[in-house]
Amino acid sequence: MHELSIALGIVKIAENETAKAKANKVDLIELEIGTLAGIEFDSLDFVWSSAVKDTVLEKAVKKITIIKAQAKCIDCDTVFDINFVYDSCPKCNSFLKGIIKGKELRVKALEVS
């Protein structure tokens, strides 16, 4: 379950940024996670309370924005939504594509106090 290590990484980022701001706690954390990032949202929710216990994130509200994956076909330049990395272009059926978005995993914002 790599979601625990991801949650602990998020805690480390929040602790570093809170220290830089000379704050004591985080009131809100905003995350952006792409549908192709390999994150199981239920698993992340399951480990979250354990990962944030006794940290600056313990009482923080967690807001997740899910980024829908998009790709651009290399053969016909069509931009299309994808659910899986192996989806083909809906216009020409080519499997050659570049992923435009959907692999994100970032801390977008922290509200500290």
Which CATH number goes with the domain that contains 91? 3.30.2320.80
At 95 the pLDDT is 97
* Paired strand residues for 32: 65, 106
How many domains, the chain?
1
Of the chain, the percentage scoring pLDDT greater than 70 comes to: 99
Four-point Cα dihedral 19, 21, 24, 26, nearest 10: -100
How far is 110 from 84, CA to CA, in rounded Å?
A: 30
Q: Specify the pTM.
A: 0.86
The pLDDT tens digits for 45-85 are 999 999 999 999 999 999 999 999 999 999 999 999 999 99
Q: Inform me whether the pLDDT recorded for 1 exceeds 60.
A: no
Domain of 34 in residue numbering reads as 3-112
- Residue 57: which of 3, 109, 11 has the closest Cα? 11
The residue to which tokens 């651009």 are assigned? 72
Confidence at 2, pLDDT banded by 50, 70, 90 = confident
The pLDDT tens digits for 9-47 are 999 999 999 999 999 999 999 999 999 999 999 999 999
Starting at the edge strand found earlier in the chain, the sheet holding 105-112 runs 61-67, 26-34, 105-112
User: Distances in Å between the alpha carbon of 60 and those of 20, 24, 56?
Assistant: 18, 12, 8
